[in-house]
Chain A
Amino acid sequence: MTAAVLPYVAVAFGVALAFALYRMVRGPGLPDRILALDTMYVNAMALLVLFGLMLDTVLYFEAALVIALLGFIGTVALAKFLLRGDVVEID
């Protein structure tokens, strides 16, 4: 059953990624683009986990972990930059 649904699930995540890409290209504002990037990294991580399932290997978990960490830090840095015009504040 898992093997049967896996391709469709991967397509659904892929379409989700495409929707986010559309929002990133279209904008209109910078927060929209950050939000789209945030959604894209989350979906890319899910696709990577699915790929690991398809290949029957646990190797991709490490990559998922790295994407999760870097994606979050990227989102925070970009949002913080919009908010304050600076990422690391020294006072």
Chain B
Amino acid sequence: MNGTLAALPAWADALCAFLLVAGAFFAFVGSLGLAKLSSFEKRLHGPTKAATLGVGGALLASIVYFAARDDAVYGHEFLVTLFVFVTAPISAHLMIKSALHLAGRDPRAPDIEARR
């Protein structure tokens, strides 16, 4: 299945594998939280942070792999990583705002801290 992978220097290989495994772990846990937790506010925490770091790990691993293979850095992955990290908080913010709005909860209500 992976017979096509180029041979890398040992450090790049190890770093790449570590980033992949760490990214996969976080993405997995983030989605597990999405499936498992019981309220929308709790569910929102998993994917927004963990999935972002997960995809970040995969992208960094791919940067390391192709940098070691070709001795050149491809700009695309950097741009994608940057873009994902900048946009994740924005979509999270809009989603929680729309959830509060649909539930009829005013974020300005003075008693919102008390409700859990």
Residues in A lying within 8 Å of B, measured CB to CB: 1-9, 12-13, 15-17, 19-20, 22-23, 29-32, 34-36, 38-39, 42-43, 45-46, 49-50, 52-56, 58, 61-62, 64-65, 68-69, 72, 75-76, 79-80, 82-83
Q: B25 and A12: CB pair below 8 A?
A: yes
Q: How many A-B residue pairs have CB under 8 A?
A: 179
Given contacts A2-B61, A9-B58, 7 further A-B contacts (CB under 8 A): A13-B24, A42-B47, A46-B23, A56-B5, A72-B90, A76-B91, A83-B101
Q: B27 and A12: CB pair below 8 A?
A: yes
Q: B2's closest neighbor in chain A, by CB?
A: A3
Residues A16 and B30 in contact in the complex (CB < 8 Å), given A1-B17, A45-B80, A53-B65: yes
Q: B2 and A35: CB pair below 8 A?
A: no
Q: A16 and B95: CB pair below 8 A?
A: no
Residues A46 and B17 in contact in the complex (CB < 8 Å), given A22-B35, A31-B99, A39-B30: no
Q: A35 and B43: CB pair below 8 A?
A: yes
Minimum CB–CB distance for A15 against chain B, Å: 6
Residues A43 and B97 in contact in the complex (CB < 8 Å), given A6-B20, A53-B61: no
